[in-house]
Amino acid sequence: MSENDFIFYMIGIIHRDSQCAVKLAEWLEEKQPDVITIELSNFGLAFREKMGDFYKKNLEENLKRLNMDTNAMLNHYIEDIKKYIEIPYEYRVAQKYVKKNRGFIYLIDLDIFSYMKLKEIDTLFDLENIRNLLNLEDKGEETASERLFARLYFEKGIKAFPYTEEMRIRDIHMKDRISLLIRCHNERKFTHICGWQHLCDPHGIYKTLNPIKVFIYDQDICI
């Protein structure tokens, strides 16, 4: 395979925004990548597969203790923590695509950061925290704000979000994993699915891969 035959896409998404699932599925079907990498750790997936139902049941029980209807629409803070413990939609979409079209999926984020965040999850789902979240003013979906910040960046070049040291460390790791996979595969099309903030790449970590960067909400935006 020559360099001219190789295509590497970076697809920017908003995590836990399930409205994006259809757009992502359509994009994969159109571009037909051979290898998909995801900004998700093996530990993070395994934890959600093993413990997701437990924490969702725990949430329902705490809502009942607070005399809340578990079938009712609650504020977006509660909805967000429910999504937090679910299998990420980007993995489910990619898995469905690979089952239909064949190909490969790799989870390439660092386990250590997932572990550090998930070890505090009991506090997130405990009764007192749920009570506090229910008492917060619901100012609408957080994903709407993220879409606004993303459009400010992609369309106006205005950066209204931090690129943290943690993101830099994780991007270095993920880029190295992708580079290794490229050497191990003869496939032509690679796609990396990640949070949209990673597309800014201020340190040029992914530069050597010549990525085509796409914001999934507006596929005309490529950087």
Say which CATH number the domain at 8 has.
Answer: 3.40.1010
Domain contains 222: no
**Residues 114/48/74/17 CA torsion (nearest 10 deg):** 70
Number of structural domains in the chain: 1
User: Which tens digit of pLDDT belongs to each residue from 20-49?
Assistant: 899 999 999 999 999 999 999 999 999 999
Q: 65: closest CA among 148, 2, 127, 150?
A: 127
Give 16-27 as a DSSP string.
Answer: T-TTHHHHHHHH
pTM here?
Answer: 0.89
11, 216 contact by CB (below 8 A): yes
Q: Which of 7-11, 13-17, 49-53, 214-218 has the lowest mean pLDDT?
A: 214-218
Domain contains 130: no
113, 44 contact by CB (below 8 A): no
Domain contains 221: no
Residues in the chain: 223
Domain contains 151: yes
Domain of residue 23 covers 3-46+88-118+141-215
User: Which tens digit of pLDDT belongs to each residue from 8-28?
Assistant: 999 999 998 888 899 999 999
d(CA 26, CA 97): 10
Q: How crowded is residue 84: how many other Cβ atoms within 10 Å of its Cβ?
A: 18
Domain contains 160: yes
Domain contains 63: no
- The identity of residue 75, as a single letter, is N
- pLDDT band, residue 217 (cuts 50/70/90): confident
Place of tokens 């660092």: 110
Domain contains 161: yes
Domain contains 59: no
User: Which tens digit of pLDDT belongs to each residue from 108-162?
Assistant: 999 999 999 999 999 999 999 999 988 877 665 555 567 777 777 777 676 778 8
User: Which tens digit of pLDDT belongs to each residue from 84-112?
Assistant: 999 999 999 999 999 999 999 999 999 99
